[in-house]
Amino acid sequence: MNEPVSAELIYLASQSPRRRQLLDQLGVPHELLLPGADEDAEALETQLSGEAPEAYVRRVTGNKLAAAEARLAARGLPPRAILCSDTTVALGADILGKPADADEALAMLRRLSGRTHQVLTSVSLAWISAESGLWQRAQALSVSSVRFAEVPEAVLRRYVASGEPMGKAGSYAIQSQIAAWIAHIEGSYSGIMGLPLFETAQLLRQAGWEL
């Protein structure tokens, strides 16, 4: 694990197609480093009692990175940089994670309707230093605000019925049809999608990439 890291390819430890698209937008070649059947990936996202949204998303991203590093070693893969990201939606101090079912998705969307919430995305990168040959780690955080207009109940129900909210923090994706009801955004659009490009580029430059 102390060989020089390849600057041409990184591992993305995420199943999100949106994060793959965003890395492509940066021009960063990558391949997936996903959990195996023996890993409980969902357990990494368990909330702790009283945990603040920022502390939560930073901790989860760090846990995902540690799990990906262990996965890399266990599989005997070539040592390349590893990128992880996690996104959460916060309404005040309340964390709105991925809905368990359609009823929970509808309840979350009702809470977001007509209100402003925050989207927090943490990015973690591990790479091998060209100078020391040792693994280095860094993390960055993007916080954005999103305001929904009042969304009619019938629209919310159709959106939930489409299946789009499932697997999404806060029960929505900004690049989906629900965007027609987003009145204002302040912050990073790519961060709301799941991988803030500015912060990700900063981490990659810190690790020696030329973008």
Domain assignment present for 5: no
Q: What is the CATH number of the domain that holds 106?
A: 3.90.950.10
Rounded CA separation 181/42 (Å): 30
Q: Does a structural domain hold residue 65?
A: yes
* Residue 112 maps to a domain: yes
Per annotation, catalytic residue among 24, 38, 40, 86: 86
Q: What is the DSSP string of 99-156?
A: -SSHHHHHHHHHHHTTSEEEEEEEEEEEEE-TTT-SEEEEEEEEEEEEEEPPPPHHHH
Residue-wise pLDDT for 50-98, tens only, equals 999 999 999 999 999 999 999 999 999 999 999 999 999 999 999 999 9
Query: What per-residue confidence (pLDDT) applies to 43?
Result: 82
Q: What percent of the chain has pLDDT over 90?
A: 85
The answer to whether residue 2 is domain-embedded is no
pTM beyond 0.75, yes or no: yes
Q: Is residue 4 part of a domain?
A: no
CA distances to 16, 45, 60, 62, 67 from 40, rounded to whole Å, are: 17, 10, 13, 16, 10
Does the annotation count 86 as an active-site position? yes
